[in-house]
Amino acid sequence: MSDSRSEEEMVALYRARADAGDAGAMFSLGVMYAKGHGVEQSNIEAFRWYRAAAESANTDAMFNIGLMYVEGRGVEQSDVEALRCFRACADVGDGIAMCNVGMMYASGRGVERSAVEAVRWYRSGAETGDTASMSNLSLMYKNGDGVEQSDLESVRWCQAGAEAGNADAMFNLGVI
């Protein structure tokens, strides 16, 4: 696709492809509606297009639906539904979704709070290379929350996140 196309032309192109069953185009329409690019901004339309893409196994759309449930954008806020969406993405190896599942366990949103489960999900996300998971896992080790306290493990995970460019991990490394 050419960058010289207007946003309205892109919407028309995505709509034609979405009508033909293209899940990627459905996802792109969701993004266009969510951001108001080439169309009037509408969280309801964004959710509708994301849901159509997710039904065609588009995990990026499922992840965005999870975010919409967390924030209550275009749908009624529901941590339970957000967790379901994030778990579906985590089940196919999405490290960022694993981190989000960990955060939900850490805070008890949509699920009973469990630091042990949060650590498990953060570790899974960190092992995929997700830097936010590394940073969060580092803090769990630092505080001994859900895992035996270990400054060594805290620094190890924090350093891995910092080396990968995570700003929170860089900050935490300075504090640790």
Cβ atoms of 137 and 126 closer than 8 Å: yes
| pLDDT per residue rounded down to tens, the chain (176 residues) | 445 679 999 999 999 999 999 999 999 999 999 999 999 999 999 999 999 999 999 999 999 999 999 999 999 999 999 999 999 999 999 999 999 999 999 999 999 999 999 999 999 999 999 999 999 999 999 999 999 999 999 999 988 888 888 888 778 777 66
* Best CA proximity match to 119, nearest among 146, 154, 97, 139: 146
What Cα–Cα distance (Å) separates residue 127 from each residue in 42, 131, 137, 161?
A: 36, 9, 11, 11
> Structure pTM?
0.88
Residues contacting 37, CB < 8 A, separation 6+: 7, 10, 11, 31
